[in-house]
Amino acid sequence: MHSVVCIKQVPDSAQIRVHPVTNTIMRQGVPAIINPYDLFALEEALRLKDRLGGTVTVVTMGPPMAEAALRKCLSYGADDAILVSDRAFAGSDTLATSYALAATIRQIMARQPVDLIFTGKQTIDGDTAQVGPGIAKRLDYQLLTYVSRIVEVDLARKEIVVERRAEGGVQLLKTATPCLITLLEGINEMRFGDLEDLFRAARYDLQVWNREAAGIDEVEMIGLKGSPTVVSKVFAPRPRAQRAQIIETQDSEPRNLAATLLAKVFTQHPKLEKEIAKRAI
């Protein structure tokens, strides 16, 4: 059993601040973390390994500093890690990224067959949820998104049964392996790696693959050239024409503030008062 888990190193978006005057991102001091959604994918792959044996390979495409994210994955128990890094990838959108990762996975498969490919449901910086489906399509594998439970893996028959979160319910699906699975959040909890894995992660001879090593000949498929989408503008949202009417009273007593607020709201929005009266018990 060999699983490949695709992860991404992302800035911890909870700690991103926007400069109030220039409206630019203040990157300084924002820690880089493993995309939280990817941890559910990694843990699920590790659990399958616990059950069925085999190995887990973690892959990421990113700048050299993404090595730290891969070493973290090794410390959780992943067996191998590959960093795909090349200036030629700069500016890749999701279409170009899925091309590069699919090529990388083909190279991995040439060395050791792959049974399952895992990704998180989306990243917290891009939030697109497009790279996983893109990789599956490029490899011509079946795609199972928003998987909430892996029910059964039959390695001999090359079959897998999963539960998938759909609109309004859960689908029970059976498909053939190899396939690509994106995991729903909250379905498991990342383990604490043991000391042995921690040491191994620190000493591990991490492979860095450039474009050629990833098996990509066509440079026009990656980077800016391979990206149909172009960012034409980055900006902070406009405030409304008018700021909020700030309710003030002479004494600033909560009771009086509340009463003044209600009077103002209901005078300006008489329908709202009726609406509330109708609904409230």
Backbone region of residue 66 per phi and psi (left: phi > 0; alpha: psi in -120 to 50; beta: other values)? alpha
What residues are paired with 159 via a beta bridge? 154, 176
Alpha-carbon distance of 56 to 115, in angstroms, equals 10
Among 52, 68, 155, 170, binds another protein (CB under 8 A): 170
Alpha-carbon distance of 131 to 101, in angstroms, equals 9
The residues in 195-254 that bind another protein, with binding defined as CB under 8 A, are 224, 227-237, 239-240, 243-247, 252, 254
Nearer to another protein, 56 or 179 (CB): 179
The residues in 31-90 that bind another protein, with binding defined as CB under 8 A, are none
Strand 179-183 relative to strand 142-154, pairing: parallel
Q: Min. distance of Cβ 109 from another protein in angstroms?
A: 18
The residues in 11-30 that bind another protein, with binding defined as CB under 8 A, are 11, 13-14, 16-18, 23, 25
Q: Min. distance of Cβ 195 from another protein in angstroms?
A: 29
C-alpha closest to that of 107 among 218, 217, 222, 215: 215
The residues in 259-278 that bind another protein, with binding defined as CB under 8 A, are 259, 261-262, 264-266, 269, 272-273, 275-277
Q: Segment near another protein (CB under 8 A), from 40-48, 51-59, 169-177, 199-207?
A: 169-177
Calculate the alpha carbon distances from 133 to 46, 117, 142 in Å.
22, 11, 9
The residues in 115-154 that bind another protein, with binding defined as CB under 8 A, are 123-134, 136-138, 142-146
Angle ∠(152,115,97) on CA atoms, nearest 5: 120
Q: Min. distance of Cβ 98 from another protein in angstroms?
A: 6
Q: Segment near another protein (CB under 8 A), from 80-88, 103-111, 167-175, 209-217?
A: 167-175
Nearer to another protein, 56 or 222 (CB): 222
Contact 120, 38 (CB under 8 A): yes
The residues in 89-118 that bind another protein, with binding defined as CB under 8 A, are 91-95, 97-98
Alpha-carbon distance of 163 to 177, in angstroms, equals 15
Q: Min. distance of Cβ 196 from another protein in angstroms?
A: 31
Cα-atom radius of gyration of the chain, to the nearest Å? 24
